[in-house]
């Protein structure tokens, strides 16, 4: 299966915006849901763009499953992410483009930003890690040039092991990113108000 390129946008029109936030929802969720999360963080003057996964899922199995088992969904999701980044970049420089996601969307956020690295404005991954049974750095580009990345996770999250978040942080830093990873003891698979504020401060209020 391949994803359609279905985009939901809101906020300041892109041609008038000071920045754009590109959003990826979690498994079983929707573009409308992640737009609401983005809205809670976005400074004034922001264009918000959320991609919708076909059947509400970017790929069928765990992000740590063998890569072949998640194809062709995963490659199609990455192609849509690349298309969204490139079409936004026709209007705004990459330093005014931000990428954000939750859970499966956070994994897609980190994987696509690493593969299509630029000096982005910032990246936020609420409970996610780089995709793969093991992290294969071959497709990644060393072009973050100091991009700030906020990551968070629970210490016993049922879908994203803390160890994968920590391993992803190390890889992203090796690609030139400045990463702030926050681990919450006992936190369920959700986004807390504290995380939202920390992400906002680290990415937009630095």
Q: Could you state, in order of their start, the residue ranges of all structural domains in the chain?
A: 6-205
Q: What pLDDT, on a 0 to 100 scale, did the predictor assign at position 205?
A: 84
160-201 confidence digits (pLDDT tens): 999 999 999 999 999 999 999 999 999 999 999 999 999 999
Average pLDDT estimate for 94-102: 98
Confidence of residue 67 (pLDDT cuts 50, 70, 90): confident
- DSSP for the chain reads -----EEEEEES-GGG-SEEEEEE--TT--HHHHHHHHHTTPPTTEEEEEEE-GGG-SSSS-TTS-GGGGTTHHHHHHHHHHHHHHHHHTTS-GGGEEEEEETHHHHHHHHHHHHT----SEEEEES----SSS---TT--S--TT-EEEEEEETT-SSS-HHHHHHHHHHHHHTT-EEEEEEETT--SS--HHHHHHHHHHHT--
Whole-structure pTM value: 0.96
User: In whole angstroms, what is the distance from residue 74 CA to residue 3 CA?
Assistant: 9
**Domain topology for 6-205:** Rossmann fold (3.40.50)
Q: Kindly tell me if the per-residue pLDDT of 1 is higher than 80.
A: no
Q: What pLDDT, on a 0 to 100 scale, did the predictor assign at position 20?
A: 98
Q: Kindly tell me if the per-residue pLDDT of 206 is higher than 80.
A: no
CB 128 within 8 A of CB 166: no
Q: What pLDDT, on a 0 to 100 scale, did the predictor assign at position 141?
A: 87
């Amino acid at each position: 299966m391949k994803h359609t390129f279905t985009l939901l946008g809101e906020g300041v029109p892109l041609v008038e915006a000071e920045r754009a936030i590109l959003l990826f929802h979690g498994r079983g969720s929707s573009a409308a849901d992640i737009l609401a999360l983005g809205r809670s963080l976005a400074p004034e003057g922001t264009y918000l763009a959320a991609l919708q996964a076909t059947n509400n899922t970017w790929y069928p199995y765990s992000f740590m499953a063998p890569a072949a088992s998640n194809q062709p969904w995963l490659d199609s999701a990455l192609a849509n992410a690349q298309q969204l980044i490139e079409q936004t970049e026709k209007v705004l420089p990459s330093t005014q483009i931000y990428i954000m996601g939750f859970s499966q969307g956070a994994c897609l956020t980190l994987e696509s930003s690493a593969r299509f690295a630029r000096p982005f404005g910032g990246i936020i991954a609420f409970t996610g890690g780089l995709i793969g049974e093991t992290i294969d750095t071959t497709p990644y580009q060393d072009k973050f040039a100091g991009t700030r990345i906020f990551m968070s996770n629970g210490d016993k999250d049922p879908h994203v092991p803390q160890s994968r978040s920590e391993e992803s942080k190390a890889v992203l830093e090796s690609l030139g990113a400045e990463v702030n990873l926050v681990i919450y003891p006992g936190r369920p698979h959700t986004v807390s108000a504290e995380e939202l504020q920390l992400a906002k401060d680290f990415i937009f209020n630095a």
